[in-house]
Amino acid sequence: MRKRTLFRLAAGTVAAGAATLAYASLIERNMFTLRRYDVPVLPTDAEPLRVLHLSDLHMMPGQRRKQDWVASLAALDPDLVVVTGDNMAHPGAVPGVLRALQPLLDLPGAFVFGSNDYTGPVLKNPFTYFLPDREYTEGVPLPYEELRDVFTGAGWVDLNNARTTLKAGGREIELVGVDDPHIERDDYAAVAGPVNPGAALSIALAHSPEPAVLDRMAADGFGLLLAGHTHGGQVCVPGYGALVTNCGLPRSMARGLHRWPGSDSWLHVSAGLGTHPTAPVRFACPPEASVLTLIPR
């Protein structure tokens, strides 16, 4: 009897695990979700401004469901589109990325790149994400310059270690960004400095939300910090949250809107729209895009 009970228990555990894996890989990773947040960063009496934040598409050829869903977001008519990197996961991904983003390219936009814009992902043991000093391994080169040319040709601002102003929603926005800190391409020192006191709105971008970079952006007075990279944990435990963030950010801030500690700045971390192609699962963390409605403080 005891052996039979143990066998049934083991069989039930295996079946539950298989069902969970099937749900995470076939259902939840395709449950594209739109998040909405109000962010109090504007001066008193200012009109609201809507920012569409996209991140971590990790596009593969043929992912038409994801492309169609992203393209449909143009109907939201945002004032500004911000993309925080990791657009590609395959050398042939550019047409899919453009099919997704083409309806948005006529709007004011800004972008930074992530590691998976430069090189493709490689097969790895997912448990290595729990290692604090995990070595980064590069995959095949990706056509990031082709993607950059399309974005900038449409008028989107390249904020990889750059700083500028952009007009959106009828007002001037001060913008700064860094290339991906996760692979040490960031150079905030080259673009650092206090926000213009007359700026009605200031936004800072990074792919990986590394605290050392965010601290400096907040100290310079940027009111809204935008990042991706974490996938919201990608696999979360209900009631506990993300297991890892794959960066220095605390697990409690793996996705969503948070006040950045010790500052007046707000941080929004997108859980992103894709997955690592060798681990195409999401659990308790559906793929997402966010509309941030900026309102008076």
Q: 176: domain CATH number? A: 3.60.21.10
Q: Residue 2 falls within a domain, yes or no?
A: no
Q: Residue 21 falls within a domain, yes or no?
A: no
**Residues 230, 288 contacting (CB under 8 angstroms):** no
Q: Residue 222 falls within a domain, yes or no?
A: yes
Per-residue pLDDT tens over the stretch 181-196: 999 999 999 999 999 9
11 pLDDT band, cuts 50/70/90, is: very low
Owning domain of residue 190: 31-296
Note the residue count of the chain: 297
C-alpha distance from residue 56 to each of 83, 226, 272 (Å): 8, 13, 5
Q: In angstroms, rounded to a whole number, what is the distance separating the alpha carbons of residues 39 and 136?
A: 34
Q: In angstroms, rounded to a whole number, what is the distance separating the alpha carbons of residues 129 and 141?
A: 22
Number of independent structural domains in the chain: 1
Q: Is the pLDDT of residue 273 over 80?
A: yes
Q: Residue 11 falls within a domain, yes or no?
A: no
Specify the residue for token string 């042939």: 92
26 pLDDT band, cuts 50/70/90, is: confident
Q: Residue 121 falls within a domain, yes or no?
A: yes
What pLDDT does 278 receive? 79
Overall average pLDDT of the 225-235 stretch: 96
Q: Where are the beta strands (DSSP E) in the chain?
A: 33-42, 49-54, 80-83, 109-111, 157-158, 162-168, 171-177, 202-205, 224-227, 236-237, 241-242, 256-259, 266-269, 288-296
pTM confidence score: 0.91
DSSP 237-290: ETTTEES--SSSS-GGGSSEEEEPTTSS-EEEE---S---TTS---BS---EEE
Q: Residue 290 falls within a domain, yes or no?
A: yes
Residue partners of 49: CB distance under 8 A and separation at least 6: 42, 79, 80, 168, 169, 171, 201, 293, 294
Q: Residue 274 falls within a domain, yes or no?
A: yes
Per-residue pLDDT tens over the stretch 35-71: 999 999 999 999 999 999 999 999 999 999 999 999 9
Overall average pLDDT of the 271-284 stretch: 91
Q: Residue 14 falls within a domain, yes or no?
A: no
